[in-house]
Chains A and B, each alone.
Chain A
Amino acid sequence: MENNENKCENGQKEQDHQIDYRRDREWLEKPKHIFILSEAGKPIYTFHGSEDKLASLFGVMQALVSFVQQNDDGITAIFAEGYKIVFLVRNSLILVATSRTNCSTHQMQTQLSYLYNQILSTLTYSRVNRSFEKRKNFDLRILLSGSERIIDNFLVHDNSVRKVTNDVFSNLTNSISIMKIPITDRNNIVSSIQSSCSKIKDLIFAILLAKNQLISLVRLKNQTLHPVDLKLIFNLIDCSESFKSTESWVPICLPKFDMNGFMYAYITYLSEDCEACLILMSSDCEAFSVLKEAKSKITDKLRRNNCFNAINQEIFSNGYNLDALNIPEMVHFVYKPKGIYQIICSEIKPPYTSVSEFKKLEGIYFDLYRKIHKPHAPLKLIYEVRESEAALAWVTTTHELYAVFQPTVEKNDVIMLVDKLFKAIAKDNDNLFIKNHPYF
């Protein structure tokens, strides 16, 4: 035995690093890991690395979950200095997230439950269940193959791994970012869609979006769409460039709408001169040609009604501009009306335009959000001053505001600036938010 070990020592070192995760520093030091496994401990997904090489790690995770379960309890999280590991057991799946950031366990759980929904949206709840009922040793990767990149895409966007974008904050607040469109134009868009589609049987939703922001959501059969489902649609569109070049017909399960069935999505971009994405969702799997026809009607009407201009203007703008409102001491904000799942964010300006600085901004918001929404001990207001910035989180009966100021700002001025912002938002309210939807 000893001989054997010595023999391997040098020759296999290189290989060790590839096979044994515990020796792979680069892998271990990733800011975040996501693992999904079956109840049997078989790997389904890992964000970094290959599931096969991590097979023993997946085994350990299943064993930990089982060990706690035998005491009629459930493992929820592990904490180490600067490190968190969160577990979520749903149905026949075990989801695990690790993080080196300061997001709360609650946020990490929300994220895992989103990933669970993401899997359902590809397979449906009943299909996942049936697969494992038939064979407990089933390798779910067989059914998921090809859709891992949708999960990857969500995770990349979930915090600023490489991009500087306000998308992070809609995930943080579990909301949808709304594109600012003058209300008359928005009404025009909605009526253009409605009039082109009203007679189509089984067409349930028509969604128009651009740049991960919602332009309009038309509910043709008066059904409601849950923000979680809408987010799944956003993510699907965002992760595939191919929708830009060709029209697509995609089955998608919306777990909050019906976790056992598929909806069929006709997905296409409006036109070359207006890069907004139109999604027509039908319960009829044969509806492709009908919807294709509807799309060209919609496009024509939108063009005729000058809606392309209105949309393009926002596509090319950088977002809500604080300097234009004469609130220059405020560097950035995220605003969410209470009780609805919509947010607006201001344009990202220096110093936060670099990835490293933006990560700090993200950290500040994560921190504020975690503290102010602490279950059982929520707060109304947090105001924090550090050497590099002042930050405010404020939850009232009508809205939530998260904002960052220059560090030199006076408290008196903060109140005044926030007041100014609220007035500006109130004035623009009709253009900033969508109000015809009961839940969101």
Chain B
Amino acid sequence: MSTNRKELSLKSFFIFNSTFSVSEDDTENKRLFYFSGVETPEFKQLNDLGLVEAIINFVGPFVGEEKCQALHTQKTKQFFYTPEKDYWMVLILNLPNEVTSKDGAQVSDYKVEEVNDEVYRHFLKQSYRMFRFFQGTFECNLKGKSKDDQRTNLSNVLKEYFSSYLESLKLPSFNFLTILQSVQYFPLQKDLFLRLHNFIKMVKSTFTSIDFCTYFFNDHLVWSEIASEDLLCLNEYLTTTLFPKAIKAEISSGAVDRNYLVDCDRYGGYLAGKSSSENTIDPPVLYLHEKNGGLKMFSMIVYRTMNGTFCLFVDVKKDLPNDFYTELQSYMAQQLAKISSDIGSFYLKSSPKTPTSNSDLETPRYLFINDLTQQHRGTLNKQSEIPLNISNTIAELFDDSNSDKYHEVMVKSTNDYWVVKKSSNHRQLVVVIHSNKATLIDISNDVNRLFTQEVKNNVFFEQ
């Protein structure tokens, strides 16, 4: 008897709009984008799409088409999302599978439960938001005179954006953090906070073309003036694309050395802007939400110094003077370096200690989430080595919660992990503790201790 395991994999990802087809004979016009990583015959693509369309059609009368979310088959899970009217995004995953050969016969066991629906539905949603962040809505990409031109243009934009997005996708790395939909937050001491606040005010009044700013320390958010939905996208872009690049450059240039203040210009610089450095890219154009819910295009200038990242947004319609970038840098470089370094010292003192080794599993790992600001902080993060069943359990606890009402749930898994989630008034706390001896009451006491300590120590809960 032998067992052969196949991991979760992407089967296909496609986007369609049924209204683009008018008869039985032009069904291919519905398909705006199709990706499977391998050559897929036309009829197969249309069949994949047809099934999803039929499912949506079938469910429609019962609950409304737009509420349709997923199809499970024995071998796949298929997720649907409709971000704009009539547009559907579909993600099809091959389930992890264990093939056991016994006496010449092969038996497949598809691991349905290992794939958490919530996680992948959020992933699908987020992939749309990222697209919109860079390219605007699907609808606004319908450029051209004829209907065919418009469709082709949208198709091309989708292809360009999503092909590379999907090729670099690493599926099994998603876990409950995907569904949190919040940004890791770092609260400052009052005087530091005021200094940063004043600094930003000064920059904006000196350079009036700047519309908004955000400030991150490491990958923690400290200051933001943009909509929380956009902040999530910005955070993802910074942490997955810009920061890794910057850190690489800093290491090679020796900026990790802490003797910085004497020569701050050398260690500060534009990640996105205009400079002589080869590490600088042109400011990306992003679609941000306005107060009325509409989208508007902004260029984003990114300046980084001493692990602090300052993003400045400028309406694309504004022309910036030629010397804007040099003026800006000479105005703020020193001040920003000083503030960032002071924030750095405070960060070292106050940041929560993340348990580093697995031997330390009994130390509670926790996460506070503020649903109103979509910010979180705590020691439960991507590095936490939590078993898959616990990650999925946490995801499920978030699934059925309505965080404005009081709700507390404590769960003990068969592998002796406790997961506790408390929520009320749009604040949530999640704690994970590994212990085979603790009782309900022990755990409850641990959680309460954490809770009071956290509430006392910072402003997070008062925002």
Q: Do chains A and B touch in the complex (CB under 8 A)?
A: yes
Q: Which A residues are closer than 8 A to B by beta carbons?
A: 21-22, 28, 60-61, 63-64, 67-68, 73-83, 85, 98, 102, 105, 367, 371, 374-387, 411-412, 414-415
B224 within 8 A of A: no
- List the 4 closest pairs (A to B, CB-CB), nearest first: A376-B113, A81-B67, A377-B389, A381-B412
A203, B407: Cα distance in complex, Å: 55
**Is there an interface contact between B67 and A77, defined as CB atoms closer than 8 Å?**
no
- Name A's interface SS: mixed
A37, B198: Cα distance in complex, Å: 71
**Is there an interface contact between B74 and A378, defined as CB atoms closer than 8 Å?**
no
What residues of chain A lie closer than 8 Å to B113, measured between beta carbons?
374-377
Contact flags B102-114 to A (C-beta < 8 A → 1, else 0): 0000000001111
Distance (whole angstroms) from the CB of A354 to the closest CB of chain B: 22
Interface residues in B29-51 by Cβ distance below 8 A to A read 47, 50-51
What residues of chain A lie closer than 8 Å to B389, measured between beta carbons?
376-377
Contact flags B435-447 to A (C-beta < 8 A → 1, else 0): 0000111001000
**Is there an interface contact between B73 and A79, defined as CB atoms closer than 8 Å?**
no
**Is there an interface contact between B62 and A80, defined as CB atoms closer than 8 Å?**
yes
| Stretch of B53-61, B140-148, B281-289, B296-304 on the interface side | B53-61
A64, B61: Cα distance in complex, Å: 16
Distance (whole angstroms) from the CB of A397 to the closest CB of chain B: 11
Distance (whole angstroms) from the CB of A277 to the closest CB of chain B: 39
A74, B400: Cα distance in complex, Å: 28
Distance (whole angstroms) from the CB of B397 to the closest CB of chain A: 9
B413 within 8 A of A: yes
B69 within 8 A of A: yes
What residues of chain B lie closer than 8 Å to A80, measured between beta carbons?
59, 62-64, 67-69
Chain B interface residue count: which class? Answer: 35 or more
**Is there an interface contact between B440 and A415, defined as CB atoms closer than 8 Å?**
yes
B341 within 8 A of A: no
A235, B51: Cα distance in complex, Å: 38
What residue in chain B is nearest A370 (Cβ atoms)? B396
A79 contact from B51, B69, B112, B411, Cβ within 8 A: B69
A377, B397: Cα distance in complex, Å: 13
What residues of chain A lie closer than 8 Å to B169, measured between beta carbons?
none
A371, B414: Cα distance in complex, Å: 12
* A-B CB contact pairs (8 Å), 6 listed: A67-B51, A74-B73, A75-B72, A78-B68, A377-B389, A384-B408
**Is there an interface contact between B439 and A79, defined as CB atoms closer than 8 Å?**
no
**Is there an interface contact between A386 and B393, defined as CB atoms closer than 8 Å?**
no
A105, B72: Cα distance in complex, Å: 10
Distance (whole angstroms) from the CB of B8 to the closest CB of chain A: 14
Distance (whole angstroms) from the CB of B142 to the closest CB of chain A: 28
A73 contact from B67, B73, B393, Cβ within 8 A: B73
**Is there an interface contact between A82 and B411, defined as CB atoms closer than 8 Å?**
no
**Is there an interface contact between A76 and B393, defined as CB atoms closer than 8 Å?**
no
**Is there an interface contact between A75 and B63, defined as CB atoms closer than 8 Å?**
no
What residues of chain A lie closer than 8 Å to B64, measured between beta carbons?
80
What residue in chain B is nearest A374 (Cβ atoms)? B113
**Is there an interface contact between A83 and B414, defined as CB atoms closer than 8 Å?**
no
B392 within 8 A of A: yes
**Is there an interface contact between A79 and B72, defined as CB atoms closer than 8 Å?**
yes
What residues of chain A lie closer than 8 Å to B439, measured between beta carbons?
415
**Is there an interface contact between B411 and A381, defined as CB atoms closer than 8 Å?**
yes
**Is there an interface contact between A83 and B67, defined as CB atoms closer than 8 Å?**
yes
What residues of chain A lie closer than 8 Å to B412, measured between beta carbons?
379-382
B75 within 8 A of A: yes
**Is there an interface contact between A75 and B71, defined as CB atoms closer than 8 Å?**
yes
Contact flags B383-418 to A (C-beta < 8 A → 1, else 0): 000000100110010001000011111111110000
**Is there an interface contact between B69 and A415, defined as CB atoms closer than 8 Å?**
no
What residues of chain A lie closer than 8 Å to B413, measured between beta carbons?
377-380
**Is there an interface contact between B406 and A387, defined as CB atoms closer than 8 Å?**
yes
Most buried by B among A63, A78, A85, A411: A78
A376 contact from B61, B68, B111, B396, Cβ within 8 A: B111
A29, B149: Cα distance in complex, Å: 42
What residue in chain B is nearest A380 (Cβ atoms)? B412
**Is there an interface contact between B73 and A75, defined as CB atoms closer than 8 Å?**
yes
**Is there an interface contact between B61 and A83, defined as CB atoms closer than 8 Å?**
no
B10 within 8 A of A: no
A379 contact from B58, B117, B393, B408, Cβ within 8 A: B393
A375, B440: Cα distance in complex, Å: 24
B76 within 8 A of A: yes
A22 contact from B61, B76, B117, B393, Cβ within 8 A: B61
**Is there an interface contact between A79 and B117, defined as CB atoms closer than 8 Å?**
yes
Distance (whole angstroms) from the CB of B212 to the closest CB of chain A: 34
B58 contact from A74, A78, A382, A386, Cβ within 8 A: A78
B203 within 8 A of A: no
What residues of chain A lie closer than 8 Å to B440, measured between beta carbons?
381, 383, 411, 414-415
B157 within 8 A of A: no
A298, B12: Cα distance in complex, Å: 67
Distance (whole angstroms) from the CB of A410 to the closest CB of chain B: 9
- Given A73-B74, A377-B113, A411-B440, A78 and B51 contact (CB-CB distance below 8 Å): no
**Is there an interface contact between A382 and B410, defined as CB atoms closer than 8 Å?**
yes
What residues of chain B lie closer than 8 Å to A75, measured between beta carbons?
71-73
- Given A67-B54, A68-B51, A383-B409, A412 and B69 contact (CB-CB distance below 8 Å): no
What residues of chain A lie closer than 8 Å to B61, measured between beta carbons?
21-22, 28
